[in-house]
Amino acid sequence: MPFTIAIDGPAASGKGTVARALAAQFGFHHLDTGLLYRATGAKGGDPAAAARSLTPEDLARDDLRSAEAGEAASRIAAIPEVRTALVQFQRDFARKEPGAVLDGRDIGTVICPDAEVKLFITASDLVRARRRAAELNTDAQIVLEQLRGRDARDSQRADAPMRPADDAVLLDTSEMSVEQAVETATALVQTAINAR
């Protein structure tokens, strides 16, 4: 029986880093669901048609980590037809053996409400802006404004808004090193596996 880990949270909170580390630690598959939306936005044209026709090659594009791709992803993620087109792909991925780690905005609330472990990873706006600015080699103040706009869109959209699942464990990484965040998450997952 596969084991699913759902990780949600805003951009630059550390959720992708933790998700990749957990997948490696436990030998699980990993899906950064934001890439699905980034790839859909990057394809251009009708967003719903783009979502329905995604290929593995679309997910391997070099430009999907850019700020522009992130902004496009946030805008098209608010389109119900796009979300519907991508839900089944994510749910199928979540049931891969021996397990899967999915990170995004609505994994614990919509995609995998029955996940064995649910984490909502967050950090202060300023810490997230500094992290993303360092990644992109740009100005933190500009990134801060972009993150706040994106957070507002993601949390206020009518369809699958970003919010912690009722049974998610909240992990604030503002004052944590990468190692501390991964260690905390690993301990939570190991406890759930042991209790299974």
User: Annotated binding residue at 2?
Assistant: no
User: Annotated binding residue at 12?
Assistant: yes
User: Annotated binding residue at 186?
Assistant: no
Contact 139/34 with Cβ under 8 angstroms?
no
User: Annotated binding residue at 11?
Assistant: yes
User: Annotated binding residue at 14?
Assistant: yes
| Binding-site residues for ATP | 9-17
| Binding-site residues | 9-17
